[in-house]
Each structure stands twice: as C-alpha cells, then as structure tokens.
Chains A and B, each alone.
Chain A
C-alpha cells in the first residue's frame, strides 16, 4: 500500500510556515503509459503515519511531524493499493506557500527498494521516459 498526503499546514513557533501540499499519483504501466491512480481509502493522518510523512517531507521540505504538531493542520492520507500492472508508481507533490516547489517519490515495484525522492523535472522525465512537455500535461 502506498500513502500520499493532501494537506494544509500552518506551523507555529518556533518557525511559522505555511504549506499547501497537493499530490497526484500515477501508475507507469508495463506499456509505458502513465495513468492517474485513485485512492482506495481517504482518512485523516494518525500516529501510524508519522514515519512515512517524515520520510517524504523531512528531507524535501525540512518539514516533519514535530513542525506539523506545532500549529494547525488538515492532512488527508490517501491510500493506494499496489497494482501489478504498474512497473513504477509515482507520487508527485506540488507545494505552495512559504516555499513553492515540487518533488516526486518513485516506487519501483520490481526492485522493491526504498522509494526514491527526485526533485528535478528532467530526472523525472528520464525515469518515466516522457518528454518534459508530456510531463507538464500531467502536472497541471
């Protein structure tokens, strides 16, 4: 199961910051097609999600559950079932607020290794074998 996060976060002291986190999750099929995935479950964040949340946002945004806890947050956890028809699953996060950025998390279903976090659009294009233009169409 893969978790993605949709969130509105306003951290408080010591460092007030705000984040709107919007995810899109795609399946890279065996035929190289890129299809959006729909979550099987939508729920609020709980203590079971801390590690996964910190793994995704700790390194990329220096945002962890400790920051989240400081202020106000509305975090929806989207759960996606693993699908044998996907050779890779891709979470793309667009972040707005105190920082404006995006990053992607790759799950290579064949390799079963730790999800890789990629921050460069060209690197995402390379992994997916899609042109930047094609990718933009998905990101919008």
Chain B
C-alpha cells in the first residue's frame, strides 16, 4: 500500500442540472476511484502490536478500529472490566484510547448469542482496494445487504442547531441532487444482489425544504422501493398539513421524526410544533416514528415519558427508535464520560423508569429475527431481506397496549428464543430437502408451543388467533391479518451509531443502514458519518454548487441560503392541540413562557411574537 497524493475532485454541478440518468451513471463510474480514501493522506495502517490486557480485565475479542486523531487503522481489544464492556486501542502517535463499548457485560453476553451474518454482496460497487473501513462502497467483504438506504436530498436546513456542522451555511455549499441524479442513485441501490434495497429513507438537511419532495417519493416507488420514509423535524408539516397528505398519496409509508424528550428543555428542536405535526399526520393517515437522540444527563431522565408520549399517540405513532448519542468530532475524555450512554444503559434506564413494565429481558438484538428470513427463504427458494447487523448495534421489542391500559411486551407471551431456534432448525431441514409437507405440518402444530395465550393482550387471546396469524405470515405469506397484530402496538427500538472512540470495523462490515452517494456507492452509516471528511463531506462537496451560484439560480439574494425558521412560541402553546398532546405527560402550565423562549434560543432557533 503506497501513499497517494491527495487531489480534490469537483464537478461543475450547475452544468449538470439537465443531465440524464445515464450521464450521471457515466460520471459516477469515472469519479468513484478518485473519491475513494487514500492511504498516507486520508488514513494510515499500524497493525504491528495489540493493546495490552490489564489487571482486573477479561479479554473478549480483538477487532480493528481507527485512531480518532490521525485515522490510523489499529488492532483494538474488547474486554470486560467491572461489569462493563470496553474497547482499547493504542496509536503509536497518539497513545492509548479507551472507551466504554457497552455499559453492561451480562446484556452483551446475552445479545452476542444472536449473531447471524448475512450472505454478503454478490454485486459490489467498488473493488477491494483498501483495508476495511477505508474502502466503503460496498465491497465484497461487506456481510449485510442494505435494510435501509438513506438518500440525502439536500443539505439545506431551516434550523441551525448549535451542534450541527452539516447544513449548507456551515458546510459552505449546497448539495442537492437533481431528480435524474436521484434516480441514478436509487438504481445503484436497487442493483445490489443477492437482495436489492427495498427500503428508502429520504433525509437531509431538511428534505421538506425541497419543492419536489413528492416527486422524489414517486421516483423511489417507480424504482421499486416498497418502503419509503421521510426523515424530518416535522416542523414544515406542522404548518403545511397538505404536504403530509401529498407525501402519503405519493407512497410515503412513514415519517421519521426527531423527538428528543417531552419538555422544551430536552427537546428544543420541535417540542412546540410536534403536536401540530402529529395532527397533520393524523389527517394524512401517515404513521410516524419518533426518534430521540439520547445524551446522558441531558434527556435520559425522560426516556420512559418519551415512550409514554408515543403510547398516548399510538393511533399515529408506530414506534419510538432511540439513538444513544454518537460523539462525533473530537471530544475530551471527561466530556465523553459525561455524555456517553450505550444500549444496555438505556435498557436498564427504561426498566427503572417504567417500574419494570418493560424490563431489560424484553429486548433482543436486531439479528434475532434472521431465522424468520432463513425459514421463508428456505420455503420459497427466493432470497429474502435479512437483518444481520452486528448484535451490538441495536435492540428492539414490541409493546402492546391492552384494553385496561396495561403494557405488555411481546416477550411476555411469545417465547422468542424458542420460536427463533425452531425456525432456524426447520430452515435447515428444508435446505436438506426433508419433506416440505411434513415440515409445514410440524411448523403449524408446534407454533402454539411458543405462545402463552393467557398472558397475551385480550384482543389476541381468542381461539388460535395468534397461532393462525403466525402461520399465515410465515407459511402462506398472507400479511392481511398483520394489521390486527399492529393495532395498539408500539415498536420500541434503538440503534447506537458509532463514533471514532468506540469504532469497531466488525460492526461496520455488518452495517445494514447505508447511504447512497452521488457517485453511486453505498456507504455504511458509520463510515459515512463517523469518517465524514473521507466519505460524506468529500463526495457531497464534489457534487455541490456554491452558495452564491445556488442563490443566483433560485433568483434569491438573501444572506441565508434558505428560509430559516423562527418560532412563535406564544401562538404555539396557546393552541388546544398543544395542550392536549402533552396532557398527562407534562404539566404545560408549570413552564413559564420565558423558560420556553430561553430553551428555544439557547438551541439556536429564534423566537418571534
């Protein structure tokens, strides 16, 4: 591996505004090799020594990781100490770096039993030309196909949150691919085999700032994406409910919304608008998923209240998907220790705050459901979507709201472990050409063993309802009865995206949430955002347009690149919709108006009256 001189790649995007899909394809293929990370410029490799194990520590595994300072690829040790899991690496230039990897060793052990690796990518978009994770695109080493593809529709945003460096003004350019360019990018994602991407998230910036967002959703549907979600703060939708209806009619399946807590202090981003956004989504019959980013000590005391908020709006909120904070950029150790929260810490906090209504045992890692895919695949002979991320990346459960208001996690009436082990065994039997009819009969007969109907929500208790439902889905592929299963059900999940301190290349290789880049690559989330200078920023800048040019093209001469949101708190909190949305969750009258204003301004969103 030799050092290569760094050259900035840049296209004149204003000349590509009318370019065809084919022209973007040719350009992507030409530029891709120049945009890939280069050794000696973007990263280094030092694999000559392994980090030590110290007294009182128990070794778990080695992995590869990068130095947060100089991006040298290093051997790293994952180990247990005082009930927690840690990662340690030693950079020859920057010394030892140690970080909490998982906050609870017992949960780590339980989750580690559920690893299933995917089949890899048989149609890689980049050749193997650099060590993992400096070759993302995807290459033949990658173990999981995409479960969700992110498309950055714009880097413009109507907010200027104090911690964000991504929006157009901060970046210094506008990145906003044309519709033909987007079609090319989506086709690149659909080309992947053995299983093409079927789920798309349109993200930003703030994607609702694009006038043609509805068009983008339609293009995604035309290109074969069966699931399309829009990632937004929801603020635009609060003021423009018609857009929610148009997005729904175009085929949007769900709106994915930041929602960091239930008070103005924990959620200054969209606390005041969220009630109106939910109302707009109700009108549009558009489901929502709330996405709280958790920062230890900042909003962690409101985790259960956030779930309660989701339950209160269960008619429209389908899930709450927590994201323990990814500490992007460089951060001193003390600050990291203060802010860091990991998946098991969150699970334990939920157990505490819910008084055991949802316990740590109710959660499973993402790949737990892989045996369902294996079974259906063995039955049909067709490749199926597999969720095969690293076990440490995420956790999930379902909770059911029963008629008497009680909360029942799915694990209380379904033997998840037994059920998945059974499916895996039957999938193996099917592969070995054992009698299909006999296996199906056996499956139908045995399903009841995994369900304790006496503990199920009342509406699912009658007869063999649950068993029939599972049989219909797994064997007959009849999903019509799933609606009843999902009624009054809330998905709670979490995905802990990495940062440079807890970075683990074994997790990157199994990532199934990818970004499609303008040069037609698919880059794992934790490479795209954890190594932004060599992935996200480099490729988006290459295909960007200067702010000056963008304003010229749009006929604008404002100092800001786009409309910046100013909030009228007085008006928002005086509405009945606001009060009702938080009723039973917080006492809205207990917060003085001045405190509302301070919270918004501190976050970076101006207040008007």
- Residues of A at the B interface (CB closer than 8 Å) are 12-15, 46-48, 50-51, 54-55, 58-59, 62, 64-67, 69-71, 114
From B64, B119, B139, B392, contact of A14 by CB (8 A): B392
Q: In the complex, which of the residues A13, A59, A62 contacts B78, with contact meaning CB atoms closer than 8 Å? A: A13
> Smallest Cβ distance from B142 to chain A, in angstroms?
9
Partner of A13, one of B61, B129, B131, B140: B61
Shortest Cβ distance from B46 into A: residue: A47
Q: A50-B47, A54-B131, A71-B62 are in contact. List 15 more A-B contacts (CB 8 A).
A: A13-B78, A13-B112, A47-B47, A50-B131, A51-B128, A51-B131, A58-B141, A59-B120, A59-B141, A62-B120, A62-B141, A66-B63, A66-B505, A69-B63, A70-B63
**With A and B bound together, what is the CA distance between A14 and B118 in angstroms?**
13
B128:A54 contact, CB within 8 angstroms: yes
B117 contact set on A, CB distance < 8 A = 15, 62
Q: How large is the interface on B (under 10, 10 to 19, 20 to 34, 35 or more residues)?
A: 20 to 34
Pick from A54, A70, A71, A114: contact of B132, CB under 8 Å: A54
Q: How far is the CA of A55 from the CA of B140 in the complex (A)?
A: 8
Distance in Å: Cβ of A67 to nearest Cβ of chain B: 8
Answer whether A65 and B129 are a contact pair too, CB < 8 Å, given A14-B390, A14-B510.
Answer: no
Residues of chain A within 8 A (CB-CB) of B373 are none
Indicate if the CB atoms of A55 and B62 lie closer than 8 Å: no
- Which residues of chain A are within 8 angstroms of B129 by Cβ–Cβ distance? 51
List chain B residues, Cβ under 8 A from A65.
64, 131-132
Contacts A14-B510, A54-B128: A70 and B139 contacting too (C-beta < 8 A)? no
User: Is A64's CB under 8 angstroms from B141's CB?
Assistant: yes
Are A69 and B75 within 8 A (Cβ)? Answer: yes
Q: How far is the CB of A1 from chain B (nearest CB, A)?
A: 16
A54 to B132, CA, bound (A): 9
Q: List 25 A-B contacts (CB under 8 A).
A: A12-B60, A13-B61, A13-B112, A14-B61, A14-B112, A14-B115, A47-B45, A47-B46, A47-B48, A48-B1, A51-B128, A51-B130, A54-B128, A58-B140, A59-B120, A59-B140, A64-B509, A66-B64, A66-B506, A66-B509, A69-B47, A69-B62, A69-B63, A70-B63, A114-B127
- Nearest B residue (CB) for A17: B117
> Contact: A51 with B141, CB < 8 Å?
no
- Asked if B391 is an interface residue, CB under 8 A from chain A, the answer is yes
Nearest CB in chain A: distance from B527 CB, A: 13
- Are A71 and B61 in contact (CB-based, < 8 A)? yes
Q: Are A69 and B128 closer than 8 Å at their CB atoms?
A: no
Which of B63, B119, B510 has the most chain A CB within a 10 Å cutoff?
A: B63
> Does chain A have a CB within 8 A of B496?
no
Contact between A12 and B61, CB atoms less than 8 A apart = yes
- Chain B residues with Cβ below 8 Å from A50 are 45, 47, 131
Instruction: Tell me whether B1 and A51 are in contact (CB under 8 A).
Output: yes
For residue B78, which residues in chain A have a CB less than 8 angstroms away from its CB? 13
User: Closest Cβ of chain B: how far from A16's Cβ, in Å?
Assistant: 9
Complex CA distance for A114 and B140, rounded to whole angstroms = 15
- Kindly list chain B residues whose C-beta atoms are within 8 Å of the C-beta of A114: 127
Most chain-B Cβ atoms within 10 A of its Cβ — which of A46, A48, A64?
Answer: A64
Residues of B within 8 A of A66 (CB): 63-64, 132, 141, 505-506, 509
A118 shortest CB reach to chain B, Å: 15
**B125 CB, nearest partner CB in chain A, Å:** 14
